Structure 1
Amino acid sequence: MRIIRRKRLFVALTAGLVLVGVTLLRAADPGFVSAVRLIGFDGYQRLWPRPHQELPVRIVDIDERALAVHGQWPWRRDRLAELTAALTEMGAAVIAFDILFAEADRLSPHRYLPELIGERPDLATPETLRAALPDTDARFAEAIAQGPVVLGFAVMPRTGETRPPLKAGFAYSGADPTESLPAFASALTNLEQLEAAATGVGGISLSRLDTTGIVRRVPMLFSDGDRLYPSLALEALRVAQGARGHIVRTAAASGELDVGTTAVTDIKVGAIPFPTTQDGELWVHFNADRPERYVSAADILDPARRDAVRALIEGQIVFVGTSSVGLLDIRATPLGELVPGVSVHAQATEQILSGAFLSRPDWADGAEVIATFLLGLAVIALVVTLGALWAAAIGGVLAAGLYGGAIHLFQTQGLLLDPVYPTAVTLFVVYAAATALLYVLTEREKRFVRAAFGQYLAPEMVKRLESAPDTLRLGGEMRDMTILFMDVRGFTPISEQLAPTDLVAFLNDLLSPLSEEIQAEGGTIDKYIGDSIMAFWNAPMTVEDHARHACRAALAMTRKVDALNARDAFGFQARGLAAQTVRIGIGLNTGEACVGNMGSDRRFNYSVIGDAVNVAARIESSCKAIGADCLVSEATAKAAADFALLEADAIPLKGKSVAVRLFALVGDPDHAASDGFRRLAAMHARLIEALSAGDAAAANAALKACRAEAPAHLGAFYDRFAARVAALPEGGPSPAKA
């Protein structure tokens, strides 16, 4: 549980750092993040465009038909004068031109008057020529003066002195909005005589923020840093209402939250108020570009058609523009449509008249940042507590709720809130980071578990379980096996002088290298029992000469303990503890036993049971009494006859009715073949024979010879024999043995 908690904490902290990064990225709001947000807003409009309403807005279109009838563009200005006069006569509430007339009409006939007077004085008097060759710009100006006409201007990036005329006044509530609006450097305006005749002049430039080619916002206000100028739609609404000016309200106005800026909040034109962005722009809620919104200029210029279309013009706010592709005024909308630029101004005007607006409130960015962080926290908590699948399911529900809420607010209140970044980005990045890290840590845990099982099982067993997990079923088989039990001698005094944590460290430092020696000889560690190890050979994989492998492992274990003591690996000597060295006892027995998976369907161990196991345990418990570090049964001794073995005589074992002959394992076959061990083995045989005969004198002589030849670590072993010799009656062999 502690490992699991640490893993979950690590996943939570790492995923939390990723979440902080994702949240900070949203707070910084770089261009690609805002672009994704705008695409989401476009999706809203495609799914729920502005409903169609019958509103007094019309477009007089210089379309392909009009160009086919009246010739290519540009037309002579007297034709535009005719168009303007016809619209005025038909009762248009206002005529707004989405066309700039920055230069004099190069097709105007009066431009040729000086040449004609000089070359052909006989044709007519100058006065007659002037009447026959009119100034079309003057005629257009006269027509503009006779009607409610609004002309346009375009802002320019290059510095210049040109500014459009102001036809309407501005009042503002709060701080001066010119302080917050982006200032244009110069303007492209109309001929002065045309602007002087116009009732209004408004900007036709679109938002500088819409850099992707899709029109989403239309500026309602322009500023040169000193004065405010209206947009074409704003001026059209003013002139249509007969109003004299506009009222602009900023964030510092009464009733508004003062956020320390001069951000524009709304504009009132005549009797119509509407909200804007802080830059004085209107979010346009588009609807389909319906054909009935348009009237061809050819129909207006055709006297025979005027009565048929009069009802479409009378009382309408009329925008004059072009849908001809060749005139290059085609714009893309969020609906995926390509529309004439004049349609954008017309739709903005329709939206203002409808009273239904889109808005992105000041608190939207903060709310989206908070939503990003909270949703990310929820995802992290779900991943670390319930897992990846449940996190994905519940996270999907939370995302759906966020989307549903954003859609509901868009449909009911026109609010533009972004659910894409908090859901898609957070779920993808944070969820992916958390689950990927969890997967990596889980795989590492599996490797750790595999390595941990490698401490208990032979490598072959681990490989077998990995390749054939179906072998993990209950049941067992009888096998001829060699079983090992190892125990720490004098463990109680050692445990009494160590703190619990130090005791655990001591056992780890001891049992780990001893386990390695067992596995090096192909043994399978069955279990650890406190300070003891139980292991076996010849299962689950067949091990030839398993008794000899077990004996080699036992000798290696005793050598390992000696080496650990020699370098004070446990720190007993350095700390001045009472117990300076560690001794172990090992018991080996060879015989048939049942080995396999034992336990329940839910939890089981690969283990061995049987009488051979019990005997091995009893042999190990006899080590201290016999004074040998390693004892083996007669069956093991026969199977490893080439090892250095010394008989310890027949020893009654607890729980056994017949005494079992035990042998001290002294060395490997090389040691058994040495001259020193051969002499010791011969004298030891005479000692056993004398003890069996009850010959005290011969036993004493043999014991002395054994002590002289035996290495120091067999001292305790022969001390036990000395006690047996001392118990023999003096005077020769026992009568019973004679």
Structure 2
Amino acid sequence: MSAGALAVLISLLGLLKGADEALYDQMVTRLVPPPEAPGAILVAIDEPSLAEFGPWPWPRAAHGALVESLRAAGAGSIAFDVLFADPGDLADDGAFIAAAGPDVVLARDVEIIETPQGRIRTEVMPLPELIAFGARTGSVAMPIDFDGAMRRMPAQGGFTPEIAQRDAAPDGARIAWAGPPGSYPRVSYYQAVDAKASLPPGFFEGADVIVGFALRAVTELDGGVPDHFRTPWTPRGFGMMPGIEVHANALDTLRLERWIIPLGHWFVVLAAGGIAFLTAWATSGRSAALAVCITLVAALTPVATSAAALTSGVWLPPATWFAGAIFGGIGQTLRDYAHERRLRATVTTAFGRYLSPALVERLAQDPSALKLGGEKRHITVMFCDLRGFTAISEAMKDDPEGLTRLVNRLLTPIADAILEHDGTIDKFIGDCVMGIWNAPLDIDNHAQKAIDAAVQIVADIDRLSETIMAERKAAGLTDLGVACGVGINSGPCVVGNMGTSDRFDYTAIGDPVNLSARLEARTKYYGLRILIGEDTARDTNAHGLIQVDRVAVKGRATPVDIYTPVCALTDDATVDLAARQSCAFGKYRSRDWAASAALWGELAQDAPIAAHYSKVMIVRSNNFAAHNPCEDWDGTWQFDEK
């Protein structure tokens, strides 16, 4: 809308009128064909004639002789583009007066002078005696445009309407040019005075003859040219055109009704506003390259339309609606660019604290990859909770600032590991962090990346815990051990903005989220740092994982196999932990309780990290040995608490 308003304003102010006229000059001289045959012959007061008759002014008897010679040669009309306002020698004037008749048109001039008191109109007429025998008069004053060029037809009472003896062209009509200077037949004055001897028979037969100045020495743009004028051919390097040839062009335009009618200014205003709006609409949301192409096509449309209309005798000034198309295209492109910048800033602000810098950059480059408002995606979810935090809070209850710094210090490696492995930090829940993978952007191998992040978190928290304990010991404070538990699961969830219309967060909901939280809580029971659901294990082909148990958590009827990374139980490559655990768990599920308990006992000795887990499974095997489970037992352990 702003581009359209600007285009309309420019049109109303006429700021591009000069551009319109420059385009018109180039088009009209190339596209408008000349008449089949020139309808006027020029008799030039030129250098050869000055050499023949001497300096100007010449005796008026010579003009009388010219009239008689042209009349005898069959000229249809004889028009003088010369003012004969002052009386001369009586005998000399008499020869011209006697020759002047109804077929003669004499020049008169009208001059308008603007004064502080008002406008003064001065009309210069030929001698009354010259029109006493029927000679006609016409104003040789031609409309001159603001840039000094002649383009428009004369008004009623002008020189050419009087020669043609018909009404003037419509107001504002323009001349259809026959060609550059020199396009009309021209003879020297001295030749026309003796036409019978100097020119071929029938040369003037039926022709309209225009007599006036055409001096070659003054055909350039020197600013002081008498009776030579700027026309549409001048910008193309053809120089100034003699006034008699301008009249000849106007005469043919009028005689053949070839004039060019400029369309009303209202059309330009509407066209400028309309094309600006259409271009803005067409470029909205387009890529920069496509927007440029659309804008160029829209901008060339006014020029092409004007060119086509000009060949039909109608002038549609194109510059303003050309500018409207440019304004519309550029304005909309800038608006889209600003909108994209705002959107990128919004995305960066919204996700910069939750995504890795690389993912934020991907979102900023392609915001369309972000679908807000809820979408179903297959994601991997992690819950990571700090262990021993209650004891820490109790020990530091008198130092809340210190407790806050410690919590932030502990949560930092967790958040860093999630981001480093292309995850998204969903939220912080006290001393717990929720992370998700494969949302809001597609992430390859997201299940494995979540597992890798969990392994790094466990290692980083262990190192940080040792550092904190050393610092507290050095300060004489109570020793505080810190650990963490991680639950991971994968599956289809709904992710997006959840909450109310006023307050919402980007998060995920679904059964995989709930199971991930349950698995994190069960790490305490098994004494393991990481528990992984079977869907995540399936997504990674269980590579580097060992099955820990088959459980049914509270609130979920379907049992699920749970796993943990081998590297979370031992860093000794010589211990074939996976095979031994698989064997022990196989004995357990086949109800060979003694064998399973014995195998887990050996496992606890070789992998101390798995000692707590092994003890849990040994106690469970011994209990089942004393009290066999039901016949349809499939190895599932039922948890009645969260």
Q: Please, what TM-score do these two structures have when normalized by structure 1?
A: 0.50
One-letter code of the match for 1:35?
G
Aligned to 1:203: 139
Structure 1 match to 2:148? 213
CA change 1:152–1:198 in 2 (3 A) is farther
Instruction: Tell me the CA shift for residue 276 of structure 1.
Output: 0.9
Aligned with residue 93 of structure 2, among 119, 122, 137 = 137
Amino acid in structure 1 at the alignment position of 2:315: L
CA pair 653-544 structure 1, distance change in 2 beyond 3 A: closer
2:208 to 292, 311, 317: 317
**Cα gap change, 1:184/1:216 in structure 2, threshold over 3 Å: closer, same or farther?**
farther
- Aligned-pair CA distance for 1:415: 1.2
Instruction: Note the 1:161-240 alignment, pairs <5 A.
Output: 185-197=121-133, 199-208=135-144, 210-221=145-156, 230-238=157-165
Mapped to 1, the partners of 2:114 and 2:518 lie a distance apart of 105
Aligned to 1:345: 247
1:382 corresponds to which letter in structure 2? A
Counting only pairs closer than 5 Å after superposition, residues 571-650 of structure 1 correspond to structure 2 as: 588-589=484-485, 620-621=520-521
Spell out, residue by residue over 1:155-187, the C-alpha distance to the aligned partner (whole angstroms, 9 max, x if none).
212379xxxxxxxxxxxxxxxxxxxxx987222
Aligned length: 434
- Cα displacement (A) at 1:450: 3.4
SS of the counterpart of 1:74? coil
How far apart, CA to CA, are the structure 1 residues paired with 2:425 and 2:135? 100
1:332 to partner: Cα distance: 2.2
Aligned residue identity for 1:346? A
Q: Deviations over 1:392-419 (max 9, x none)?
A: 44555555555444433332x3111234
Deviations 1:238-270 (A, max 9, x none): 2xxxxxxxxxxxxxxxxxxxxxxxxxxxxxx2x
Corresponding residue of 2:574: none
Please name the residue that 1:254 is paired with: none
CA shift, 1:456, in A, is 1.9
Q: For 2:362 and 2:96, how far apart are their aligned partners in 1? A: 97
Q: Residues 550 and 37 from structure 1, CA distance in 2 versus in 1: closer, same or farther, beyond 3 angstroms? A: farther
- Matched-pair contact (CA < 8 Å) for 1:588–1:632: no
Equivalent position SS for 1:186: strand
Name the amino acid aligned to 1:311. Answer: G
- Counterpart of 1:59 in 2: which secondary structure? strand
Find 2:106's aligned residue among 126, 137, 151: 151
Instruction: Measure, in 1, the Cα distance between the counterparts of 2:250 and 2:266.
Output: 28
Q: Once the two structures are superposed, what CA deviation does each residue of 1:574-629 show, in whole Å capped at 9, x if it has no partner? A: xxxxxxxxxxxx982599x9xxxxxxxxxxxxxxxxxxx99996685369999xxx
1:642-698 alpha-carbon deviations (Å, 9 max, x no partner): xxxxxxxxxx9977799xxxxxxxxxxxxxxxxxxxxxxxxxxxxxxxxxxxxxxxx
Counterpart-to-counterpart distance in 2, 1:48 and 1:402: 16
**Given residue 434 of structure 2, which amino acid in structure 1 is its aligned partner?**
I
Matched, 1:51 2:6: no
Q: Is the 8 A contact 2:7 2:276 kept in 1?
A: no
**Structure 1 position 524, deviation (Å):** 3.8
Once residues 429 and 549 of structure 1 are traced to their aligned partners in structure 2, the CA distance between those partners, rounded to angstroms, is 62
- Confirm or deny: 8 A CA contact 1:56 1:315 kept in the other structure: no
8 A Cα contact 2:110 2:122, kept in partner: yes
Distance change >3 Å, CA 419–CA 533, structure 1 → 2: same
Equivalent residue, structure 1, for 2:461: 547
- Deviation digits for residues 537-585 of structure 1, max 9, x if unmatched? 9979x99983279779x9xxxxxxxxxxxxxxxxxxxxxxxxxxxxxxx
**Are 2:384 and 1:485 equivalent residues in the alignment?**
yes
Cα deviation, residue 35, structure 1:
2.5
2:340, 2:275 → 1: CA distance?
A: 24
1:515-554 counterparts in 2 under 5 A?
518=412, 522=416, 524-525=418-419, 526-527=423-424, 533-534=434-435, 546-547=460-461
Whole-Å separation in 2 of the counterparts to 1:391 and 1:463? 24
Give the deviation of 1:445 after TM superposition.
Answer: 2.6
From 449, 465, 490, the equivalent of 2:347 is 449
Per-residue deviation, 1:98? 0.8
CA contact (8 A) 1:69 1:298 kept: yes
Structure 1 residue aligned with 2:170: 276
Q: 1:98 aligns with which of 81, 87, 96?
A: 81
Which residues in structure 2 correspond to 1:383-394 (within 5 Å)?
A: 383-394=283-294
1:533 is aligned with what amino acid? Answer: M
Once residues 308 and 302 of structure 2 are traced to their aligned partners in structure 1, the CA distance between those partners, rounded to angstroms, is 10
Judge conservation of contact 2:486–2:523 (CA < 8 Å) in 1.
no
Using the alignment, how far apart are the partners of 1:464 and 1:399 within structure 2? 35
SS in 1 for 2:43: strand
The AA in structure 1 aligned to 2:244 is: V
After superposition, the Cα gap between the structure-2 partners of 1:314 and 1:516, relative to the gap in structure 1 and judged at 3 Å, is: farther
Matched residue, 1:382: 282
| TM superposition shift of 1:29 | 4.4
Supply the distance in 2 between the matched residues of 1:139 and 1:657 (Cα, whole angstroms): 128
Q: Retained in 2: the 8 A contact 1:153–1:187?
A: yes
Is 1:421 the equivalent of 2:320? yes
Equivalent residue for 1:70, pick from 43, 53, 64: 53
Which position in structure 2 is the counterpart of 1:87?
Answer: 70
Asked if 2 retains the 8 angstrom alpha-carbon contact of 1:587 and 1:619, the reply is: no
> Match of 2:137, as an amino acid?
V
For the 8 Å contact 1:524–1:537, the answer to whether it is kept is no
Find the counterpart in structure 2 of residue 359 from structure 1.
261
> SS of 1:99's equivalent?
coil
CA distance 1:484–1:318, shift in 2 (3 Å): same
- Matched to 1:41, the amino acid is Y
1:472-508 residue CA offsets vs partner (Å, 9 max, x unmatched): xxxxxxxxxxx86259xxxxxxxxxxxxxxxxxxxxx
| Alpha-carbon distance in 2 for matches of 1:136, 1:36 | 51
Counterpart amino acid of residue 203 in structure 1? S
Q: Is the 8 A contact 1:58 1:313 kept in 2?
A: yes
Aligned in 2, Cα 1:465/1:519: closer, same or farther, shift over 3 Å? farther
Residues 325-361 of structure 1: CA deviation (Å, up to 9, x unaligned): 4562111221334210111111111122223332124
Looking at structure 2, the residues matched to 410 and 515 of structure 1 have their Cα atoms a distance apart, in angstroms, of 78
CA deviation vs aligned residue, 1:124-156 (integer Å, no higher than 9, x gap): xxxxxxxxxx64233332332x56221112221
CA contact (8 A) 1:484 1:587 kept: no
The corresponding residue for 1:330 is 228
C-alpha displacement of 1:517: 6.8
Name the CA shift for 1:514/1:232 in 2 (closer, same or farther; >3 Å).
farther
Q: 1:331 to 1:460 in 2, by over 3 A?
A: closer
**Mind listing any 5+ residue stretches in structure 2 that lack a counterpart?**
219-224, 366-381, 387-406, 437-449, 469-481, 489-512, 531-548, 552-560, 565-642
Q: CA 1:63–1:484 in 2, change beyond 3 Å: closer, same or farther?
A: same
The change in CA–CA distance for 1:330 and 1:406 in structure 2 (over 3 A counts) is same
- Matching residue of 2:307: 407
TM-score, reference length from structure 2: 0.56
Deviations 1:698-723 (A, max 9, x none): xxxxxxxxxxxxxxxxxxxxxxxxxx
Q: 1:141 to 1:20 in 2, by over 3 A?
A: same
Q: Tell me: CA distance 1:36–1:366, structure 2 relative to 1, closer, same or farther (3 Å).
A: same
* SS of structure 2 residue aligned to 1:21: helix
Question: 1:158 is paired with a residue of what secondary structure?
Answer: strand
Letter in 2 for 1:298: Y
2:570 paired residue number: none
